[in-house]
Structure 1
Amino acid sequence: MSLERINPGELSPPTGFSHAVSATGGRLVFLAGQTALDGSGKVVGTTFPEQFERALANLLTALAAAGGAPVDLARVTVYATDVAAYREHAAELGRVWRRLAGRDYPAMAVIGVVRLWDDQALVELDGIAVLP
C-alpha cells in the first residue's frame, strides 16, 4: 500500500493538509465521526483546542484498533460549530496534529455546522484510511 501526497505548484501552498492523496493497494478503513467524548460518553474539554485534541486522539484510537497508523490517513473532515474559532486556534491545532499524527497530512476539509450530536461538542473529525 502506498499513499502519495500531491500538492501542485499551481495551487496555493498547503498548510496542514494535502491538496490530493492518491492511494494504491491496501484496505480501506472508514472512520466514524469522533468528538471529545471520554470512555464514559461525556464530552471533555471546554475550549476548541482541548476538544480538537481529544477528538483527534479518539479518531487515532479507532484507526489503531483497525490496525492503522496516522500515516495511513488519506482523508479527514473536520466539522466545527465555530469556523472562526478553528481559524483563531489554527496554529495550536497544527501543533496538536503534529504531536499526535505527525507531518504526513491527509486531504482535509473544515465544514461549519450548526451543532453536533452532543450539545457540548464543538468539533468532530471523521476520516478514511488506507491500510496495507
Structure 2
Amino acid sequence: MRPARARRALPRHTTHMEPAGPPRNINPEQLAPARGFSHATAAGDTVWIGGQVGSDATGKIVEPGDMVAQYARAILNVAIALQAAGCAPEDTVKLTYYVTDMKAYRDNRRALGAAYREFFRSDYPASTLIEVRSLVDPAALIEIDAVAVRPK
C-alpha cells in the first residue's frame, strides 16, 4: 500500500485536544540537585521524568556494584519525581531502562521484579531495556526515565 493510501485508511481523530500550556520544570528537593537539566518537565497532562539513577538526595550513588539496590533507589527517585508532578506510579505510560551490564540485570531479574512490583502493582507500563557502555556517573549501573499522564 502506498503511504498516501495508508494514511487515508487510518481513522480520523475525534478527540478534542486542550492546549498544553508552557512547559513547567519540576525539581523536588528530595532528589539530587539538578544541574543543567530538570528531573521532570510537565506540559499539559504529560509528564516526562528525566533519567534517574540510584543516588541519594546528595547525588551519591547508593551501594556501588549492587544493581538491585541501585534499581530500588532509582525507581524510588522516579516515584518522587512523579509525585512532585502530580502523578502516581500507576499514571506511568512508559519506562526506559538503561543498564551497563545486561547479564547482571538478567541474573538479578527476580529481585529487580520484586522491587518493581513495590511501585507498579498490576497495570504495568510499556517499557524498554537498553544496555549502554556507561552512564554519566561511572558508579551508576542503571538509569530509568519515564513518561506519565496526569489524571484528570
TM over 0.5: yes
Distance 1:129 1:45 in 2: 28
How do 1:55-94 residues align onto structure 2 when only pairs under 5 Å count? 55-94=74-113
Distance 1:62 1:36 in 2: 13
What secondary structure sits across from 1:39 in the alignment? coil
Q: Identity, % of aligned pairs? A: 42
Q: How many aligned positions are there? A: 108
The unaligned stretches of length 5 or more in structure 1 are: 1-24
Counterpart residue type for residue 113 of structure 1: V
Aligned position for 1:11: none
Letter in 2 for 1:121: A
Match of 1:118 in 2: 137
1:7-30 C-alpha deviation (Å, 9 max, x unpaired): xxxxxxxxxxxxxxxxxx871100
Specify the SS of the correspondent of 2:83.
helix
Of the three residues 16, 29, 43, the one matched with 2:47 is 29
Residue of 40, 58, 74 corresponding to 1:40: 58
What is the identity, as a one-letter code, of the residue corresponding to 1:44?
A: V
Q: Which has the higher strand share?
A: 1
Deviates more, 1:97-106 or 1:71-80: 97-106
Q: Which has the larger radius of gyration?
A: 2
Over the aligned positions, Cα root-mean-square deviation in angstroms equals 1.3
Give the structure-1-normalised TM-score. 0.78
Q: Is the 8 A contact 1:70 1:102 kept in 2?
A: no
Aligned partners of 1:125 and 1:48: how far apart in 2? Answer: 13
**Structure 2 regions of 5+ residues with no counterpart?**
1-16, 18-43
